Structure 1
Amino acid sequence: MFSYALPYDPVELVARDAARGVHRRWRMQAMRDLFGRVVVETAWGRIGAPGRTLTRSFAGEADAARYVRALLRRRAGARRRIGVDYVAAR
């Protein structure tokens, strides 16, 4: 049906390193709204804290997929930025 396969299931990642005091969580979910637009909701923050949420809406799935790939690339560089990798939450 679509040429791009967004991860419509939520993606939840955590980065933990008690010695460094790093306890972060990151969650992304893509969905369609009632008007057919693709909505990408991202939530992040310290584990156990309220955190922040950002919601972006895209007219096409290709634009949303490009945005999601950029978000995931950023998470892949976590070791360089915060000293610990993000891993899938259990």
Structure 2
Amino acid sequence: MALYPFKLYCQRVDASRNLARYYMLSIETTLFGEAAVVRAWGRIGSRGGEKRDVFSTERDAASHFLELVRRKRQRGYTPVGTCGNSMNA
């Protein structure tokens, strides 16, 4: 089980360009105890794509997670809500 909950849902919306995209990221534990960075993306309202990157340690997964977040923020994605993350932790 992950020590820290890593979840993020962000969107990039630009009505003038008919752009409405979402990007979701989370860290989950696999059946073998490894940490997987799970990402899903697509147009808002559609299923889109999904990819999992598996790491041997949660630290490596968290590093990868934060790098992906940095890249998406540079491209104009903004977080929406808390996505289930505890604000008191």
Task: Please indicate, yes or no, whether the TM-score normalized by the shorter chain is above 0.5.
Answer: yes
Q: Which amino acid aligns with 1:32?
A: T
* CA distance in 1 between partners of 2:7 and 2:67 (Å): 16
What TM-score, normalized to structure 2? 0.78
Deviation sequence 1:49-74 (CA, Å, 0-9, x none): 22100011110122111211110111
Q: Which amino acid aligns with 1:40?
A: V
RMSD (Å), alpha carbons: 1.9
1:17 to 2:8 alignment: no
Is there any run of 5+ residues in structure 1 with no aligned partner, and where? 79-84
Is there any run of 5+ residues in structure 2 with no aligned partner, and where? 82-89
What TM-score, normalized to structure 1? 0.77
Q: Look up the SS of the partner of 1:71 in the other structure.
A: helix
Kindly, what percent of the aligned residue pairs are identical? 30
Deviation sequence 1:16-57 (CA, Å, 0-9, x none): 110111100000110112321001110001111221000111
Q: Which residue, out of 45, 55, 64, partners 1:48?
A: 45
Q: Give 2:78's aligned residue.
A: 87
Q: Give 1:81's aligned residue.
A: none
Could you list the runs of 4 or more consecutive aligned residues of structure 1 that deviate by over 2 angstroms after TM superposition? Answer: none
* CA distance in 2 between partners of 1:22 and 1:61 (Å): 34
Q: Look up the SS of the partner of 1:19 in the other structure.
A: helix
